[in-house]
Structure 1
């Protein structure tokens, strides 16, 4: 009864989850327009139609933007190859621990809201280093965009909920399109389109899965998300979303590392999501999943292997290019977060969190 009531309501976060794949698909037809400012910044001059990959691409991002970059990273590295290594770091690490990139490199500071104080600090650091500061944002009129030399709107459109979902899916897509633009080739476009179609299907399948496991998922106390390779990006974002909406500890572990210590804390009260990265790693992922379900009924497998479709604890997403598995699984974690937090009313923060934000703010305040 409770599950039906939860499903019948459509919270705003869930609406954005439902719209995310379509919003990302709409970027594909606009790809030349969207990535052109970055390519122009890379070349250092306007009016050049041909792509020009930098010697190195450094993506500076935090929170969900960092996770989106991690999700896109395997695909970007495939497209750009060894001639243009791609790195992802956080603004804090860049400001305090990184040297200026070489003149032939390209640094992108990514912030959906454009209001993150650490992103603004990273932009200012780049300018101090006499490096062209390119800000990729969802709001070209934001404070971060104003600090940058070049501001690029990546096409997310409006997303008014603080727990971003549509912005993540569209950012992953934009970064993949950017890699193709910098490479000067549309190779990989068909694989990206298939991954977005898989995300559509996963978005439609996820609510039913949550309904079937409603009692267990709304009773989560501590959770782990385990994966490897290209599945680590979505694991990071899944943990962030569950942590910030359901308000429980949710940790990420590489699946083999999980059984070298973290597994010793397991009890029947734990929840474990095993994200199958595919390929030769699948066998081990399934083995660790089965070991977890021997301890807890809250063990779930995300996989694209149709042989697991009759397992009630397996969420089977369409098979996609191995570098894009995170896109196929992303709606699952977004929907779990949206539906469970709505059912529990857990989005409301403890009143003392307000004091925390007064002491250590992450966003530019309105009065500033």
Structure 2
């Protein structure tokens, strides 16, 4: 079978991210928009764009002292009271749509502007309704990605959100020069890690092609990378077209654990953030309980069991960039082992029926 176009986008990620890191668009935005009084960002997005806001949340709260709220477009536009309690000068609405054509996001922007809020829009595609409706604009700089399941667009938009948080933190004086540079340097190092991450994931998969036969899987994550677990679940559902369950680590033992057994297939994401010891204990239990366990490990002292894919330990960003890359490789390769195009059309009539995009 011909390899999916998704591979081309995955292999472009490092170069596209280097271009993003070198860009001045975030600095230019903050020259035009005074972020010094900013105390709240409300993200409005769907799918992968929603998942990256969950990952990025802690960067805004810790590095820029900005409270973050995340909403789907339906939840945002359908709630008449969401914005009434917030000061307009201290609140920014950030609407994200990779294609720039999401009808729900467009409705949400109209809702925010009607109430007098500044709106920052972020897209991959220029000259789209989402871009044109915003008061301010940032581009993913990922290039065109005509796929259902996005890869480079996810990594670029995630990195863009991190860079925006870091730059606002510097402007507000929360981040000193040394700490600011440490984050920039770690993002640059993470970009350099990407080729090795791709190859590590591909090598592991060559010896574990049986994962392509699973009919359901779980993904467990916590901290910064709970959002990565959400994105992994979505990405693999999009490409494998099977049901899946995502669960936050601390919640797994509050009922979800009762559903697992010898036929269960579980992926866990391991970092050194809060909860690391619980994750170690959970992995030990799962190794004795479930049929398949894959551990994506981003710690400083990784273990080398056969069920582990290791990515570089980057503690400031919790290795979130390369954890997503490793999981994108899984989502692309596993359907192909079964002769299935991971980007195949599936129930496109529903998106047309409900008007997902304009």
TM-score by length of 2: 0.89
Equivalences, count: 343
Q: 1:25 to 1:77 in 2, by over 3 A?
A: farther
Matched, 1:129 2:101: no
In structure 1, which of residues 108, 132, 147 is the aligned counterpart of residue 94 of structure 2?
A: 108
Deviation at residue 153 of structure 1 after TM alignment: 1.8
Deviation at residue 305 of structure 1 after TM alignment: 3.4
Deviation at residue 143 of structure 1 after TM alignment: 2.0
Q: CA RMSD in A?
A: 2.1
In the other structure, the counterpart of 1:204 is: 199
Work out the CA distance in 2 between the residues paired with 1:281 and 1:196.
Answer: 26
Q: Which region of structure 1 is more displaced relative to structure 2, 107-116 or 90-99?
A: 90-99
User: Mapping of 1:165-184 within 5 angstroms?
Assistant: 165-183=151-169, 184=171
In the other structure, the counterpart of 1:157 is: 143
Work out the CA distance in 2 between the residues paired with 1:200 and 1:89.
Answer: 33
In the other structure, the counterpart of 2:174 is: none
Work out the CA distance in 1 between the residues paired with 2:45 and 2:67.
Answer: 17
Deviation at residue 304 of structure 1 after TM alignment: 2.4
Deviations 1:252-277 (A, max 9, x none): 10112112211211132221011113
Work out the CA distance in 2 between the residues paired with 1:35 and 1:74.
Answer: 19
Work out the CA distance in 2 between the residues paired with 1:179 and 1:78.
Answer: 9
User: Mapping of 1:230-309 within 5 angstroms?
Assistant: 230-305=224-299, 307-309=301-303
Partner SS, residue 152 of structure 1: strand
In the other structure, the counterpart of 2:309 is: 315
Deviation at residue 360 of structure 1 after TM alignment: 1.5
Deviation at residue 26 of structure 1 after TM alignment: 2.1
Matched, 1:57 2:41: yes
Deviations 1:10-54 (A, max 9, x none): 421122112213311221111xx21145324533xxxxxxx6351
The question of whether the paired residues in 1 share the 8 Å contact of 2:273 and 2:318 is answered with no
Structure 1: state its 5+ residue gaps.
1-5, 44-50
Deviation at residue 308 of structure 1 after TM alignment: 4.1
Work out the CA distance in 1 between the residues paired with 2:215 and 2:294.
Answer: 15
